[in-house]
Every structure is written in structure tokens, then in C-alpha cells.
Amino acid sequence: MALLETRRLTAFYGDFQALYGIDTVLQLGETVAIIGANGAGKSTYLKSIAGLIRGPAESVWFDGQPIGARQAADVMKRGITLVPEGRRLFPSLTVEENLLIGRYGRNVPGPWSLDAIYTLFPALKARRNSASTTLSGGEQQMVAIGRALVSNPRVLLCDEISLGLAPIVIRDLYNALTQIKAAGTSVIVVEQDIVQALRVSDRIYCFQEGRCSLSGRPTDLSREQIHLAYFGT
Amino acid sequence: MAKHSKSLAGTGQYRIVTGTPVSLVAAGGTLILVAVLTALPFFAGRDLLENMIFVFYMLALAQCWNLLAGYAGLVSVGQQAFVGLGGYLLFALTIIAGIDPLVAILLAGAISALFALPTALIVFRLRGAYFAIGTWVVAEVYRLSFAQFRQLGGGTGTSLGPDITNAVFGIDWVKSLLDVRTPAARDVISYWAALALAVGTLLLVYLILRSRRGLALGAIRDSEEAAASVGVNNARVKLVVYIIVAAVTGMIGALIYLQKARISPDAAFSVLDWTAYVIFIVVIGGIGTIEGPILGTLIFYLLQNYLASYGPVYLILLGALAILVMLFAPKGLWGYVSQRYGVELLPIRRRLVWKKDP
Amino acid sequence: MTLWANALMEGVLLGGLYALFAAGLSLIFGIMRLVNLAHGDLIILAAFVVLSVAAWLNIDPFAATLAALPIMFLAGFALQYCILNRTLGRGLLPPLLVTFGLSIIIENGLLELYSADSRRLHGGSIETSSIALGHSIGIGVVPLLTLASAIVVILALNFIFYRTALGRAFRATADDLEISQLMGIDHPRIFSIAMGLAFVVITIAALYLGMRANFDPTIGPERLLYAFEAVIIGGLGSFWGTLVGGIIIGVAQTVGAQIDPEWQILAGHVAFLAVLVFRPRGLFPLPVD
């Protein structure tokens, strides 16, 4: 049985349909990448899993349970956390408070204690009492990942964690992702940066205008196939 | 009813219209209704006239508050400031300056507008809900300040002598026309003045909403950010609306206290009488529409007539009704009706209509 | 000279009461951007609850307040959970008008139950005892206790806000409602706890309101205005700011009354409008808006 599955997942913003029947599977311990151009529906897909957009219960399955109609807070408590696009730290909380708030709704033992997160991102330890607004973009992204990790989730959803960051910072973040995976967390990353996505993932899905246009293992797919699925031309 | 028309590639025309067949009937009906109401003193008793005066000024106040809160997003809880101001201006102008009461009503409107400008400069520093309480503070300042005027009775208030109320312009003409005594003639003049104010307010609000500025107001109501992004000067539009409403509210206040002939700070600046009731009328009837406050006024009049004797219980019911409407039918009873049946009696919405060339 | 010093002193102590009024309002606005127009009437309601509990159990007002606190917490929680949460996220009007309706209901409900008579919470000898300062100035024990309680309440609120997980959840929810849900924060519940907490502060405020002066069901709205003025003067979002704001209103009122007893209330309002004109964001605005 898959850990997380979407079955004919659709999503609407008012009258606008953003997703048209997406079928995806995430196995335990796997890292899956969702790639696609702007507006392909990648963020909508993650929000639908996380419960920020709700639909029919049977459109999302987690651990054998239908969770498509659950509220975000409930989904989080079950062990699915999201690193949102644009980081979205809480400005009135310090760095450490931003990490601590991450286990407000779910606090289960596991590899990711506060100390383990400071070991993963050493830069944060020195800034632990700073206002989160004073951090650099890369450091803010580290806090956002740490915040989603500290509750020891079973599935970590990452939305465009490389957006607007320098290549060296992106490399560090993806190295951290490899460690997160190694510690046993299953991961779905949404990326526009195909190189990074292919490097960390076991399988990829390519989205195009709300539909899944290609899926498979990175090693099995040719550049041309991916290019076609990504751009549609 | 066509406001603009543009030819498109010779196949037909888009026209922007606001009228609907129902609205044309409604317009005709309104004219007949106004004519009947104007003639009412010829066959109605004083009780009915006095009730109608009440309906007219509550309707006018409701239209004003609806324009403020429903369209300009200025949720004021302090409109009693201008009712009381208008009332006190009427007393000051007639008692101290010896001006004819009907002229004093007009002057009260103009002076209220002058007071509204500095008031706005202060309360406009507060946004949204804070604006609401800020206007309330200002109304309290007005109340406490007018309580200091010894010439107008200080905290206990004062009365208009019969020498003033009986000297209203046109009273002799009404007496001979209807063959009535002075007090009844005074009521008839108040009635016509109230009718004129109610119809005038309705027309004013309607024309404002039909104008270019009204389009801006609708945009502000729907989204302030979006309105600003298409070049609507939100602050200026709001200021203009606030001042116009203050002027009209001041005139209504002057008329109310000409009719009552007795004023005191606590009554004239009462938040319950001049703002709470008005808010309930608009919310229950339907905020952000012109028809809503009309329906709300009628409902309020009936409730007031049948339940007001129950005192606090009546007010509890009114408050509960307003809460229920806000929670379950936020567009009010009229909003519910018009959404369900697609009726607009006084249409201000522009619709695009395709007309094929012959 | 002593008269003025006395007026100043009384004003500062009165400010403690106004800070208690303001703290609850500020708490609610800070967390859920809800401006509660029924706040003043809720204070009066709480005073009647304390009065009734004291009479029913035949205990003094302090013990009655302690007994009333859990009831009031639950009442606040229920009010938020069942009614006010439905008004949030739907624009400016619903919360304003629903709390305005609530204000009318509470005031008239109290009139119906308790009549318009003036009441007072009687605390025995403490009411009249005072501490002498020099030969002509004395400080009443109850006013002093009011100010001390205001300081304790503000310390406690600051502790909850900045030292506990609940406080982090309050601030996170206020910052970003959508993302707070991703932290497993059940915001309707958080808002209800906040309102329960506000009701606790309201009840403490009601105790001192009722012990210092007479009250009747109609005086609520004026208390809302004082609370509001203190919050705005203090600058939104700072509990210590509400204390300063409360003291400014209190001093303005007592000094105004010293000049002419009729100017007491007016002077407080004028002080508020003056701050609004010269420092529209309050005396201690938040660094980030």
C-alpha cells in the first residue's frame, strides 16, 4: 500500500479549474519530484494534499485513510507537513519560536529534535533569538524547512524551496533534503529547477496545465521527453 | 436608458443599460406613490401624518448610513453627531438668530457639512473598525460640548416656543387650504418637509450611485485595493461622501427637532435612536442596496408599532434579528429576495446588452 | 497645589482601571483583528455576574470574582466559538454589526433582569481605607489595588504571549492565518481561548469598576470608548502601551474635573483626539505594521 496517494484529484479556484484528475503515488521512504512550468498546478497539488484546499475525501489517501476533505490542521497532526512557497515565516516570532511552533499540533518523538535541526542547519543556531525577518533568504528557507520538520512528519511537502536563492544556497538546501530522506521521511518536492529535482528524486511527475503529462524514474526518461512534457511543444 | 453605445464591426451593438422592465414599472409606481403621499394630508388624520414623518426621517437616515457604510466602507457608529448637531443648529438659528425654521433646516445642512470637514480629518486617521469607534467618540464630544451651551439649556435642554414653531413659512396658507388649526398645519408642513427630505435623499443617493462617482463607490465596496489600482482616489471619494451624508443628516436632524420642538443633549445625540436603529434597518433590509433600507424601514416601523411597548425585550429581539440576518443572510432580506428572484426595482448596476442590427 | 497633585494621583490610579478595560480589547484585536463593540457592555455584564455570585454565595466581591472567572472564561469561549468565529474572514461589517447587536442585547437583557437601578460591589472596610501620604494626600486602597492588578494582568498577558506555546500560537495565528493551520493550529479554538482569556480580564476589570463606583446596565458603551482610547493612544499591540494610554485618559479626566466637574469626560475624549491628530499611530506603535 502506498503511503500517500492522490486519485483523480481536481481543484478549483472559483470557476477556474486548476487540476484535472491527478493520480500520483508516494511510497514509504521515497522522494518524488513534481516538475512543471508556472501555472501547471504544482502548488495547488501540494495545497490540496495539505488541506489548504479541500475536496472530496477520496481524492487524497494517506496511510489507507481518505483525507481529501480534512482541514489543514488535522492533516498536519496526521503527519503531513508543508514548506510553503515563499517561506512564509511568522514575522513576530523569533527563529527558535518559528521552529517551536512547527510542533504545536503534533509532537512525536523522532530524529528531528530542535538540536538535530540546528545540526542540519548550523547557521540558524547563532541566530536562534533573532527576529525571523532579519534573516537572509537562504536562512529563512532553512527555518521554513526546520519548522516543517520538527514535528517529525511522515511526509514532507516542499514547495519551490529554491525560488530566488543563489545556486550555492540551493545546493546546501538540497543536500539537507538528502539527509532528511536518509532519516526516513518521505518527501514530495515541487520544483521549477529540473536539475535539482532530478538529482534528489526517485521518481518524477511532470505537470502541464493541470494535468500530469509524464511520470517515471529520472534515469528512464530522456531530456527530450521531459522537455516535451514540461513545455508542451 | 442607454448610457453609452459602441458599434462593433457592424454586426450589432453593445449597450450599457441600467434599466430593467421591472424597474420601469417601479419608476412609474414610485411617481404615483410620491403623488399619493404628497396628497395624504388632504384625507389623513394627524396620527397617520406623525407616523409617516417618523417613517420618512428614519428612511432618509437609513439611506444616508447605507451610502456611508454599504458603499463607501465608512462604518460609522457616530451619525448621531450630525442628527444632534442639526437639531441644535435649528434651535440656535431660530431662537438666537431669529431665522425662519424652514430656512434654518437648509442652513443646518450647510453648517453640518462645515463641521464634517474637520471631523473627517480626525476620524479618517482611523481605519475600518477603529473608524467606527472613533466616530462614536466624536459624537460624544459633540454631545458633551452642546451640554455646555447655557443659552440652549445646557445639559437639560430647551424647547422651541410656539412663537417660533407657529411662524413656519407657509403655515397660514396651509391653514386656509386644509381648513385646520395651527398645530395640525404645523404637522402638515413638517410632513411635507419630511417627505421632501426622504424623496430628496433617495434621489440623491440614487443619482450618486448612478454617476461616475457611484461606480467608484461600488468598486470601493467590492475591494478597496482593486479600486485604488484602477485609479479611484479612495480617500477623496470617501471624504466627499462623508460630507454629503453629514449635510443631509444635519438637515434631517433639524427637521426631527423642529417636529419634536424640544431638544436635550442626551436625546439629540442618542446612539440608540439615531444610529443603532438605523443600522438595524439597513442590515435587516439589506446593506449595499437602495431597496434594502426601504424594506428595512417598513419592517422597523411595524416592529416599532407593535412591539415597542415591550421596552427592553423589543430591543433584545431587534438586536437578535440583526445578528441572525448578518450571520445567515448577510445581504439582508432584500438581498435574499433579489438574489432569489433577480428583481431590481431601483437599478444602479450597469449591464451589457447585445442588440443585433436590423 | 495639593489639589492638582491629588488630581494627578487619582488620574494615574484611574488609569489602572482603564488599562484593565483596554487590555481585553487589545488582546482580542491583536489576535483576530476583531473590534468588539460589546466590550463595554460585557464589563458591565461581568460586574452583575460578580454581584449575583457574591449575593448568592454570600461572599465578598473578591471571592465572588474568583468564583466567576471560570464561568466567564467558558462564556467567552462559547461566545467566540458559536457566534463570533462565524463573522471572521468575511470583511469589516459582520463582526462590527454582530458585536453591536450583542451590545444592545446585553444592555437590555441586564435592564430586564436587574432594572435600571444603580448597584455597587460592597467590599467592607477595604472600600474606605486609604494610605496617607503626607498630611493632605491619601491614596485609596481599592484604587491602588486596581492599578496593581492592571500591572499584574499585563505581566501575565505578556508572559502568556511571549513565554508559552499558547502565546506563540496566538502570535502565529495573528501573523498568518493560512500558514498557522499548517502548524496544526486549530484557529477557531485558539480564537475561542483568546476570547475566554479576554473575559477573564473583563471580569477582573468589572470587580474594580463595581467597587470604585456605582454601575447600572446603561454605562457600558462609555467604558468601551475609554478602553478604545487607551488602546489607540498606547499604539496597537502593546499591553504596556494600553497602561500608558489608560493613565493618559485617567489623568486627563481627573485634571479636567479639577477645572470644572462637567469637563471630566470631555477632557478624556479631547486628550484622545489630540493624540490622534499629532500621533495617529499611537505613542508606542509596532515597528512592523
Q: Which of B69, B125, B148 sits opposite C276 (nearest CB)?
A: B125
User: How far, in Å, CA of B265 to CA of B84, rounded?
Assistant: 7
Q: Which of A82, A100, A133 sits opposite C182 (nearest CB)?
A: A82
Nearest chain B residue to C39, by CA:
B133
Q: What percent of chain A has pLDDT over 70?
A: 100
Does B322 touch chain C if contact means CB atoms closer than 8 Å?
A: yes
Our measurement of the distance from residue C213's CA atom to the centroid of its chain's CA atoms, rounded to an integer in Å, reads: 16
User: How far, in Å, CA of A6 to CA of A22, rounded?
Assistant: 7
Contact flag for B and A (3+ C-beta pairs < 8 Å): no
User: How far, in Å, CA of C209 to CA of C192, rounded?
Assistant: 25
- Mean per-residue pLDDT over chain A, rounded: 92
Does A7 touch chain C if contact means CB atoms closer than 8 Å?
A: no
3-class DSSP string for A5-65: EEEEEEEEECCEEEEEEEEEEECCCCEEEEEECCCCCHHHHHHHHHCCCCCCHHHEEECCE
Instruction: Report which of residues A164 and C51 the model is more confident about.
Output: C51
pLDDT at C115: 93
Average pLDDT for residues A26-54, to the nearest whole number? 93
Has residue C284 been placed in a domain? Answer: no
Contact flag for A and C (3+ C-beta pairs < 8 Å): yes
Our measurement of the distance from residue A94's CA atom to the centroid of its chain's CA atoms, rounded to an integer in Å, reads: 23
Has residue C169 been placed in a domain? Answer: yes
Question: pLDDT at residue C58 above 50?
Answer: yes
Average pLDDT for residues A120-145, to the nearest whole number? 94
Has residue C93 been placed in a domain? Answer: yes
pLDDT at B15: 67
Q: Identify the sign of the CA torsion B157, B161, B166, B169.
A: negative
Q: Which of C92, C103, C262 sits opposite B129 (nearest CB)?
A: C92
Which residues are bridge partners to A22 per DSSP?
A9
pLDDT at C289: 41
User: How far, in Å, CA of C35 to CA of C234, rounded?
Assistant: 16
Question: pLDDT at residue A130 above 50?
Answer: yes
pLDDT at B275: 93
CA distances from B334 to A66, A224, B43, B282 (A): 41, 60, 32, 10
- The torsion region of residue C156 among left (phi > 0), alpha (psi -120 to 50) and beta comes to alpha
pLDDT at A219: 83
Would you say the pTM of this structure is higher than 0.80? Answer: yes
Total structural domains within chain C: 1
pLDDT at C31: 92
Residue closest to B259 by CA, chosen among B206, B208, B188 = B188
Length of chain A: 233
Assigned fold of B11-356: ABC transporter involved in vitamin B12 uptake, BtuC (1.10.3470)
User: How far, in Å, CA of C148 to CA of A202, rounded?
Assistant: 63
CB contact under 8 A, C184 and A73: yes
3-class DSSP string for chain A: CCCEEEEEEEEEECCEEEEEEEEEEECCCCEEEEEECCCCCHHHHHHHHHCCCCCCHHHEEECCEECCCCCHHHHHHHCEEEECCCCCCCCCCEHHHHHHHCCCCCCCCCCCCHHHHHHHCHHHHHCCCCEHHHCCHHHHHHHHHHHHHCCCCCEEEEECCCCCCCHHHHHHHHHHHHHHHHCCCEEEEEECCHHHHHHHCCEEEEEECCEEEEEECHHHCCHHHHHHHHHCC
Q: Which of B75, B132, B140 sits opposite C269 (nearest CB)?
A: B140
- Mean per-residue pLDDT over chain C, rounded: 92
User: How far, in Å, CA of C49 to CA of C55, rounded?
Assistant: 10
CB contact under 8 A, C101 and B132: no
Instruction: Report which of residues B153 and C239 the model is more confident about.
Output: C239
Distance from CA of A92 to the nearest CA of C (A): 7
pLDDT at B351: 61
User: How far, in Å, CA of C125 to CA of C6, rounded?
Assistant: 22
Within a 10 A sphere around the Cβ of B351, how many other Cβ atoms? 12
CB contact under 8 A, A91 and C175: yes
Average pLDDT for residues A146-153, to the nearest whole number? 96
Interface probe, candidates A48, A83, A92, chain C, greatest C C-beta count within 10 A? A92
pLDDT at A39: 84
Distance from CA of A229 to the nearest CA of C (A): 31
Nearest chain C residue to B312, by CA:
C108
- Split chain B (358 residues) into runs of 10 and give each run's mean pLDDT: 44 66 76 85 83 93 93 91 96 90 93 95 87 94 92 86 78 78 83 92 88 76 72 82 96 93 93 92 90 92 87 91 91 84 66 61
What CATH number does residue C46 fall under? 1.10.3470
pLDDT at B86: 96
Average pLDDT for residues A115-124, to the nearest whole number? 95
Chain segment C199-208, per-residue pLDDT in tens: 999 999 999 9
Within a 10 A sphere around the Cβ of B305, how many other Cβ atoms? 11
User: How far, in Å, CA of A24 to CA of A7, rounded?
Assistant: 7
Structural domain boundaries enclosing C6: 2-278
